[in-house]
């Protein structure tokens, strides 16, 4: 049985913990690093990078990534999601970004990742 998918995070940003924490304004060795370091780990270390999983193990069995995701995970990815370099299926959320907490920081973290992605594109141009 597959883990429940809590968040689908499509991105072309190359995950980098130091850049992630810096963009959030979190100092190394402080309490914020404890909380948001766990967020980074949940999103990019302990998640399932579905494109990599598909290419490595399942591309022979399934016609394409979209079919694989729909059949195995019951999720439908948009064309925009499929165009991203990476698609992370996050299976657990630290409390600081979990919607069970009224004052969660999920929107802030997602905006941070979008900003890092934009900055990456600007550096490449």
DSSP letters for 98-125: -TTSTT--HHHHHHHHHHHHHHHHHHH-
pLDDT tens sequence across 13-45: 999 999 999 999 998 888 889 899 999 999 999
- Report pLDDT for 43: 97
Give the angle 66-84-57 at the CA atoms, nearest 5°. 50
Predicted model pTM? 0.90
Query: Strand ranges (DSSP E) for the chain?
Result: 7-11, 48-49, 86-90
- Report pLDDT for 1: 39
Question: What band does 67 get if pLDDT is binned at 50, 70 and 90?
Answer: very high
Q: How far apart are CA 15 and CA 19, in angstroms?
A: 8
- Report pLDDT for 31: 85
Q: In what order do the strands lie in the sheet with 48-49?
A: 7-11, 86-90, 48-49
Question: What band does 102 get if pLDDT is binned at 50, 70 and 90?
Answer: confident
Q: How far apart are CA 120 and CA 125, in angstroms?
A: 9
């Amino acid at each position: 049985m597959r883990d429940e998918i809590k968040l689908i995070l499509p991105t072309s940003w190359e995950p980098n913990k130091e850049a992630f924490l810096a963009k959030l304004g979190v100092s190394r060795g402080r309490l914020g690093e404890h909380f948001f370091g766990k967020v980074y780990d949940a999103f990019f270390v302990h998640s399932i990078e579905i494109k990599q999983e598909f290419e490595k193990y399942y591309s022979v069995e399934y016609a394409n990534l979209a079919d694989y995701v729909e059949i195995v995970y019951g999720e439908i990815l948009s064309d925009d999601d499929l165009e991203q370099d990476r698609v992370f299926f996050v299976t657990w959320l630290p409390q600081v970004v979990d919607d069970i907490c009224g004052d969660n920081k999920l929107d802030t973290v997602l905006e941070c990742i979008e900003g890092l992605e934009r900055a990456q594109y600007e550096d490449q141009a």
